[in-house]
């Protein structure tokens, strides 16, 4: 949520570089955007004011206004805003300025004590023009600048903020950018032509693969060199430079119209990578085997991989594991004590609803095994042990390849717990090949036909049992996110406990029917729905006369759910197109990475 991008260096087209960076961060979700730049010309510098441009809506293929597009500038900052405090307006978009219009700030997070700070600043004569919490920050810096230098003023202002925040500050009277964070992520890119700062590495990798991941309570002064200091006291430390493992081309659409579809088609390769590059699995399974107790924590699609993990550990390894949605974990943390193992699962590694409970669990003595896709993310750095999914950048808001990578990883850990890791790897390789078959044109054509039949429905129900219950929930989320159709997934055994009251003539019902011990019962449930007029779509290895539509998957035991999920992803994508969804990569009101509570 929200995207920050800045540049300072030798290049004189800084505003254009920042605009390009913001476009690369669009997937994070936003409703407005803005850019500020410091001019090079001596005449404009004498004004000591930033030149600002702000807009409501999407960046798209917009070009900057005439002043910024022709401006020679070596220093610029920009922002994509997801509204929290104040409506979606040009005025509320970032950057925000102080009274002198020389201090510009972009911000990700929530200043929990902004009203108290604002009231005090108003008493001191400061004038506010927006409804945001962010605007207190440039005014705080302006106030401190009356008594000290730029860096000290930013440090002292940031120390006054309560909550999880990241800021980037520029001063029209300085040739430096200052970045500080506590909670929300910031990454610094290091190149021979200058320094970049971004909410994540996606915005930077086009320019450099050398990065510095800013830690909580750190501040970076970016100019001719990097000065890194620890907050609140300001002692200096040596920056640690890391190298990104992926290239800019990995985050491009290539031949595909949308990232959503591209990332679906990347899954065979991702699954093959999980099976063949799983060196950490045995060590992790040993930790799980010897743990006092184990908790999965996750949100969104990752939470359904965690739910699947509880079934996989039980079925394959006869091992009990607890699971909590990240935002609910704090209400269960009384169970956590020294020796407990906590396994957070996250694509981005930046979700505040995962990071916060993990931090609390660590304080209580728990050991953390992070399952994460983004190298260098907050979750990656705070975990005691880590499994990197290596699924590559996932730009569509709707999770696809990261989710199947998570499930495959859970499967391997479960098999390793009973010393059958080789068997687990073989199963995932078979799954990779089966997904490849599903992605062939003839099969995809069948899915497109079903999507056309479903496009005018406003309700879809999805049922499953056992592992397929988790599959049903994930399929439901995909349909809701991508198509805006009301979809509800539930355990099929709950039909008689209320949900069947919603079934009427031609109500679509997707039935996940793997060839396992749940098959006969799920078919019986499907017959109950059909008897009330429901329109049954079966997904699994075996056809049945109750199905009016059938999408066959391979019979791969526990890994059948991976193929079923890929079918659901394709159906959600093509259903979104049939319904005229403007951009399936960026569903309305959603963000890829939820970094504020």
Do 277 and 410 sit in the same domain of this protein? yes
Evaluate whether residue 506 is within a structural domain. Answer: yes
Q: Which of 432, 451, 484 is the last residue of a domain?
A: 432
Task: Read off the DSSP letter of residue 23.
Answer: H
Evaluate whether residue 25 is within a structural domain. Answer: yes
SS3 sequence, 191-231?
Answer: ECCEEEEECCHHHCCCCCCEEEECCCCEEEEECCCEEEEEC
H-only helix segments in 318-400: 352-363, 378-382
Q: Which of 244, 276, 299 is the last residue of a domain?
A: 244
Ranges in the chain, pLDDT < 70: 1, 41-48, 61-66, 597
pLDDT for 34 equals 95
Evaluate whether residue 498 is within a structural domain. Answer: yes
Do 56 and 26 sit in the same domain of this protein? yes
Do 233 and 374 sit in the same domain of this protein? no
- The CATH code of the domain that includes 88 is 3.60.20.10
pLDDT for 534 equals 93
Supply the Cα-derived Rg of the chain in whole angstroms.
Answer: 25
Q: What distance in Å separates the CA atoms of residue 291 and residue 302, rounded to the nearest whole number? A: 22
Q: Choose, from 16, 430, 480, 592, the residue flagged as catalytic.
A: 592
Evaluate whether residue 249 is within a structural domain. Answer: no
Q: Which candidate, 88, 84, 86, places its Cα nearest to that of 1?
A: 84
Do 292 and 222 sit in the same domain of this protein? no
Do 396 and 526 sit in the same domain of this protein? no
Do 234 and 270 sit in the same domain of this protein? no
Q: What distance in Å separates the CA atoms of residue 4 and residue 197, rounded to the nearest whole number? A: 8
pTM reported for the whole predicted model: 0.89
pLDDT for 143 equals 97
Do 311 and 401 sit in the same domain of this protein? yes
Position of tokens 């793997």? Answer: 514
Do 39 and 164 sit in the same domain of this protein? yes
Evaluate whether residue 539 is within a structural domain. Answer: yes
Distances (CA, A) of 382 to 338, 355, 357: 17, 9, 12
Do 457 and 413 sit in the same domain of this protein? no
- The CATH code of the domain that includes 297 is 3.40.50.10490
Evaluate whether residue 89 is within a structural domain. Answer: yes
Q: Which of 187, 214, 244 is the last residue of a domain?
A: 244
Do 38 and 169 sit in the same domain of this protein? yes
Q: Is 299 a catalytic residue?
A: no
Do 450 and 401 sit in the same domain of this protein? no
Strand 508-512, strand 486-491: pairing = unpaired
Evaluate whether residue 250 is within a structural domain. Answer: no
Q: Is 509 a catalytic residue?
A: no
Q: Choose, from 2, 38, 367, 509, the residue flagged as catalytic.
A: 2
Evaluate whether residue 447 is within a structural domain. Answer: yes
Q: In which order are the strands placed within the sheet that holds 3-9?
A: 51-56, 32-38, 75-81, 3-9, 194-198, 187-191, 210-213, 242-243
Q: For the chain, how many structural domains are there in total? A: 3
Whether 139 contacts 128, CB under 8 Å:
yes
pLDDT for 245 equals 82
Query: Is the bond leading into 583 cis (omega within 30 degrees of zero)?
Result: no
Do 578 and 476 sit in the same domain of this protein? yes
**Which range of residues forms the domain containing residue 564?**
440-597
The residues, any chain, with a CB within 8 Å of residue 529's CB and separated by 6 or more, are: 461, 463, 495, 500, 503, 507, 509, 511, 536
């Amino acid at each position: 949520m929200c995207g920050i991008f800045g540049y300072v260096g030798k290049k004189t087209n800084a505003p254009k570089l920042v605009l390009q960076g913001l476009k690369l961060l669009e997937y994070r979700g936003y409703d407005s955007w803005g850019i500020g730049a410091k001019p090079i010309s001596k005449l404009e510098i004498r004004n000591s004011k930033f030149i600002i441009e702000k807009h409501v809506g999407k960046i798209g293929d917009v070009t900057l206004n005439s002043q910024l597009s022709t401006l020679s500038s070596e220093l610029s900052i920009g922002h994509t805003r997801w509204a929290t405090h104040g409506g979606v307006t040009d005025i509320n978009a970032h950057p925000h300025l102080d009274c002198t219009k020389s201090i510009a700030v972009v911000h990700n997070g929530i200043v929990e004590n902004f009203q108290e700070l604002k009231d005090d600043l108003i008493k001191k004569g400061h004038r506010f023009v927006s409804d945001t919490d962010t605007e207190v920050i440039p005014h705080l810096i302006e106030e401190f600048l009356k008594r000290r230098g730029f860096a000290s003023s930013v440090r002292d202002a940031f120390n006054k903020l309560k909550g999880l925040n990241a800021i980037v500050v520029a001063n029209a009277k300085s040739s430096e950018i200052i970045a500080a964070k506590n909670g929300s992520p910031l990454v610094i890119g290091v190149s021979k032509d200058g320094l970049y700062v971004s909410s994540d590495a996606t915005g930077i990798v086009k320019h450099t693969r050398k990065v510095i991941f800013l830690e909580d309570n750190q501040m970076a002064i970016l100019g001719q060199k990097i000065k890194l200091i620890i907050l609140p006291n300001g002692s200096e430390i040596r920056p640690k430079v890391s190298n990104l493992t992926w290239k800019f081309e990995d985050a491009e659409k290539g031949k595909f119209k949308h990232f959503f579809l591209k990332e679906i088609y990347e899954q065979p390769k991702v699954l093959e990578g999980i099976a063949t590059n799983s060196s950490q699995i045995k060590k992790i399974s040993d930790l799980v085997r010897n743990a006092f107790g184990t908790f999965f924590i996750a949100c969104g699609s990752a939470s359904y991989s965690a739910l699947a993990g509880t079934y996989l550990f039980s079925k394959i390894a006869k091992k009990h594991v607890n699971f909590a949605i990240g935002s609910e974990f704090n209400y269960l943390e009384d169970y956590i004590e020294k020796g407990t193992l906590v396994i957070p699962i996250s694509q981005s590694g930046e979700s505040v609803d995962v990071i916060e409970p993990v931090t609390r669990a660590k304080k209580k003595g728990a050991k953390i095994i992070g399952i994460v896709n983004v190298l260098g993310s907050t979750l990656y750095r705070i975990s005691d042990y880590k499994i990197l999914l290596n699924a590559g950048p996932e730009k569509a808001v709707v999770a696809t390849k990261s989710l199947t990578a998570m499930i495959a990883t859970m499967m391997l850990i479960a098999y390793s717990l009973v010393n059958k890791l080789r068997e687990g790897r073989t199963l995932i390789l078979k799954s990779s090949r089966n997904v490849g078959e599903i992605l062939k044109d003839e099969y995809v054509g069948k899915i497109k036909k079903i999507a056309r039949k479903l496009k005018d429905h406003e309700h879809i129900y999805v049922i499953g049992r056992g592992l397929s219950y988790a599959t049903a929930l994930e399929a439901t989320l995909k349909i809701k996110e991508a198509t805006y159709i009301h979809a509800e997934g539930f355990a099929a055994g709950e039909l008689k406990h209320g949900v069947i009251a919603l079934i009427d003539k031609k109500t679509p019902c997707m039935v996940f029917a793997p060839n396992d011990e749940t098959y006969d019962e799920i078919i019986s449930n499907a017959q109950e729905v059909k008897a009330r007029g429901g329109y049954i779509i079966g997904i699994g290895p075996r056809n049945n006369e109750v199905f009016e539509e059938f999408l066959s998957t391979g019979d791969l035991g526990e890994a059948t759910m991976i193929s079923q999920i890929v079918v659901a992803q394709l159906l959600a994508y093509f259903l979104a197109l049939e319904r005229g969804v403007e951009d399936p990569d960026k569903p309305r009101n959603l963000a890829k990475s939820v970094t504020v509570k």
